[in-house]
């Protein structure tokens, strides 16, 4: 005979987010956001109505399927998925979780949405005071955000192939932002509240290139668009761009074109191993100088943590040195 009390005690120690992520094969970790997907109990549904949300009273994830009326906690989900009774559902969760921990360690599942999922639709919304306050903490105002086509998002949809169980997923959140190209197509989604997946890359894109006016003497290649916008907001006589990531090398012909357009091209990457490696790669490949900040990992974090005056005092001589320094000396 099973001891139901012991089963419940073991089951209660298993995070609810893990149960939903594991059994529904979600494309990104649950970090407090609400999401919608097509009903797993109604195969004919086309509009996502299966909601996964946090019950704020108990701080646990639950679900509600508005197409069928079903809903409940993690145990109810497993009961319905596998046609189990309460005790059997608890045992299934405990066994699967223990196997997962033994294989993977105690971590959230490392989902990779780009492998199967793609952005199907993005719904933008109007800017609000919360948005403005967030970006202004990095000294990035509405003028710069508008110029670089950054927009707040109400939600976006992910879709994957028909052969998979889940066909559509709706991602919602209070702070979602889209980076759009000159054709108003989103190329990256920024989710600052997400602990693991702050960025959802939609397509490769040289960030900031469309905004170049070639009317300043210097160009700084930054590690991210946010860092580029932060640097732009300080007001130096420079222009800025950013590759997809520090691990992405801008094509050689693009760099050669930019070096002809500007008096000097330099890099400003993160003060970590990846950033320093990127500086070295660009230096070796394209013979351009680079530098990092010493007071923080990157310029946007520095601005938020230390404020404009301290960052400006720290950055100005470093920038001047990198611009005036002859390569290789």
What's the rounded Cα separation, in Å, for the pair 74 and 19?
6
Nearest Cα to Cα of residue 33 among 221, 194, 274, 190: 194
Query: Which CATH number do you get for residue 67?
Result: 3.90.580.10
Give the Å distances, CA to CA, from 29 to 34, 35, 150, 196.
Answer: 11, 11, 24, 7
On whether both 132 and 92 belong to a single domain, the answer is: no
CB 36 within 8 A of CB 175: no
CB 262 within 8 A of CB 256: no
On whether both 160 and 252 belong to a single domain, the answer is: no
On whether both 239 and 314 belong to a single domain, the answer is: yes
Nearest Cα to Cα of residue 149 among 210, 200, 192: 210
Residue 136 maps to a domain? yes
On whether both 28 and 100 belong to a single domain, the answer is: yes
Quote the distance between the C-alpha of residue 157 and its chain's center.
15
On whether both 241 and 217 belong to a single domain, the answer is: yes
On whether both 55 and 130 belong to a single domain, the answer is: no
pLDDT higher than 60, residue 241: yes
Last residue of a domain, one of 57, 74, 104: 104
On whether both 230 and 300 belong to a single domain, the answer is: yes
pLDDT tens digit sequence for 151-208:
999 988 877 755 555 566 677 777 899 999 988 999 999 988 776 678 888 888 899 9
Q: Which domain holds residue 152?
A: 113-201
Nearest Cα to Cα of residue 125 among 51, 201, 177: 177
What's the rounded Cα separation, in Å, for the pair 214 and 222?
17
Q: How many domains does the chain have?
A: 3
As a whole number of angstroms, the longest Cα–Cα distance in the chain is 80
Last residue of a domain, one of 37, 69, 104: 104
pLDDT at 109: 34
What are the E-state strand segments in 5-148? 35-37, 50-55, 60-65, 71-72, 118-124
On whether both 120 and 92 belong to a single domain, the answer is: no
In this structure, what DSSP letter does residue 167 have? -
Residue 329 maps to a domain? no
Within 13 Å of residue 90, how many CA atoms lie on the same side as its CB?
14
Last residue of a domain, one of 46, 74, 104: 104
CA quadruple 38, 42, 44, 47: dihedral positive or negative? negative
On whether both 233 and 195 belong to a single domain, the answer is: no
Model confidence, pTM: 0.65
On whether both 8 and 46 belong to a single domain, the answer is: yes
pLDDT tens digit sequence for 8-50:
556 677 888 889 988 887 766 676 778 888 777 766 667 788 8
pLDDT higher than 70, residue 78: yes
Query: Which CATH number do you get for residue 264?
Result: 3.40.1360.10
CB 191 within 8 A of CB 200: yes
On whether both 118 and 100 belong to a single domain, the answer is: no
Q: Label residue 113 by pLDDT band (50, 70, 90).
A: very low
CB 267 within 8 A of CB 231: no
């Amino acid at each position: 005979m099973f001891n139901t009390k012991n089963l419940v005690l073991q089951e209660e120690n298993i995070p609810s987010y893990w149960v939903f992520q594991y059994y529904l094969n979600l494309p990104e970790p649950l970090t407090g956001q609400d999401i919608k997907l097509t009903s797993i109990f109604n195969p004919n549904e086309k509009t996502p109505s299966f909601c996964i949300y946090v019950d704020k009273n108990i701080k646990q994830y639950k679900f509600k399927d508005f197409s069928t009326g079903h809903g409940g906690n993690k145990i109810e989900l497993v009961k319905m998925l596998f046609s189990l009774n309460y005790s059997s559902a608890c045992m299934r969760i405990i066994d699967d979780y223990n196997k997962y921990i033994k294989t993977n360690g105690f971590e959230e599942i490392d989902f990779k949405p780009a492998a199967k999922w793609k952005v199907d639709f993005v719904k933008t919304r109007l800017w609000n005071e919360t948005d403005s306050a967030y970006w202004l903490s990095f000294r990035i105002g509405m003028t710069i955000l508008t110029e670089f086509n950054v927009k707040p998002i109400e939600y976006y949809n992910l879709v994957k192939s028909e052969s998979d169980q889940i066909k559509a997923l709706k991602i919602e959140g209070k702070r979602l932002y889209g980076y759009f190209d000159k054709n108003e197509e989103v190329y990256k989604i920024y989710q600052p509240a997400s602990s693991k997946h702050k960025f959802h890359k939609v397509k490769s894109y040289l960030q900031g290139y469309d905004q170049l006016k070639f009317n300043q003497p210097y160009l700084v290649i930054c590690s991210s668009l946010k860092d580029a916008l932060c640097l732009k907001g300080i007001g130096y006589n420079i222009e800025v761009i950013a590759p997809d990531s520090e691990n992405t090398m801008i094509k050689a012909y693009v760099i050669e074109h930019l070096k002809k357009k500007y008096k000097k091209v330099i890099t400003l990457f993160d003060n970590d191993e990846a950033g320093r490696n990127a500086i070295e790669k660009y230096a070796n490949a394209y013979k351009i100088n680079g530098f990092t900040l010493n007071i923080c990992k990157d310029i946007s974090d520095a601005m938020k943590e230390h404020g404009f005056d301290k960052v400006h005092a720290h950055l100005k001589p470093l920038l001047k040195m990198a611009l005036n320094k002859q390569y290789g000396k």
